[in-house]
Structure 1
Amino acid sequence: MLLFVVSHVVVVFLPGDDPTGDGPWSFRAYVIFNIVLILMSAVGAAVVVATVRPWGRRVPRWMLLTPLWFGSALLVVRGVPGMVENLLMATGNRGGFVGRDDISTAEFWAGIGINTYFFVGAVLLVVTTVSYVRRSRGAGVRTGRSGPDPV
């Protein structure tokens, strides 16, 4: 997630010639979109850390599970089709879903790398979410204490 945050901070502060890619959105929308992505990723990183740190036990379970499930769903929706596109690209349909055969070698490998990045992120976040669900099941009210209840 740190790589994602850093890459989007860079594109906000060093946007290049035409960061909108001739799309229908303005530069302001481009910046707002990237800031939202940065905030979502930073919160996601904090939530993931909270699942394994002692201070995270003081956070209500639902406050961690909500962003974990939401983030898992987003990454699966982005990562699985991306991996399918990688398979298409690797087996001869160089343009992936779009089907453009005239992409450069740099675009080809960038697409493979970005799609793989999101797929691996999806796998890791789903595993983290399922692990947290299992470890926190039956926790009920969080007290902030660790260890067994006193007898």
Structure 2
Amino acid sequence: MSVFRGPRWAYGALAWLIFFVVSHVLLVFFPGDDPTGGGPWGMTAYTVLNVVLISMSAVGAAVVRATVRPWARHLPQWLILVPLWFGSVLLVLRGVPGMAESLLMVTGIRRGGFVGAQDISTGEFWAGIGINTYFFTGAVLLVAATISYARRSTDGGKKGSSDRSE
């Protein structure tokens, strides 16, 4: 069996998306002292951004779950693949540069990353690396889940396509 044929990638991406949704719901209800980071936007923009992220991720979780459920076999393939590819592109655009930034930080080439100050605290340093690693992990999981679904759904009943019902 190919690495990208099983449903395990979908379950990993689903767990990642659920964690993302829960963490952003908590950020909306418990924003902290200055959630806007001193920027020109206010709490309304902060809340709207988080609600949009929560909504997109919740839909993404439903779509990822559909890739491994029997009831989704009756849906057109494009209805599942389009949001999967869209989410994959978004996470790659956030995750890959973030991982490159983490590499700059860890190697000491640029302690503050691409645009950060060089004199960041140890907490900021590790928080940045943790967040970047988190998004890179999400990108890997969602891209792999997308490829897995695309391969399994084009099998047309061949060996390995039974993985969809697990």
TM-score band, normalised by shorter chain: 0.7 to 0.9
Letter in 2 for 1:125: L
Q: What's the CA shift string for 1:50-108, capped at 9, x where partnerless?
A: 10111121222111111100000000000000010010000102101115221111111
Letter in 1 for 2:68: V
Q: In the superposition, relative to structure 1, how do residues 99 and 22 fare at CA in structure 2: closer, same or farther (>3 Å)?
A: closer
Moved more, 113-122 or 21-30: 21-30
- Residue in structure 1 matching 2:134, options 103, 117, 128: 117
* 1:126 aligned residue: 143
Moved more, 77-86 or 53-62: 53-62
Letter in 2 for 1:94: R
Which consecutive unaligned segments of at least 5 residues does structure 1 have? 140-145
Which consecutive unaligned segments of at least 5 residues does structure 2 have? 1-16
Identity over aligned pairs, percent: 71
* 2:44 aligned residue: 28
> What pairs up with 1:35-114 in 2 under 5 angstroms?
35-92=51-108, 93-114=110-131
Q: TM-score, normalised by structure 2?
A: 0.80
Letter in 2 for 1:41: S
- Structure 1 runs of 4+ aligned residues shifted over 6 Å read none
* 1:142 aligned residue: none
Rg: which structure is higher? Answer: 1
Q: TM-score, normalised by structure 1?
A: 0.88
- Tell me the CA shift for residue 32 of structure 1: 0.7
Q: Distance in 2 between matches of 1:19 and 1:108?
A: 19
Q: Which has the higher contact order (CA 8 A, sep 6+)?
A: 2
* 2:154 aligned residue: 137
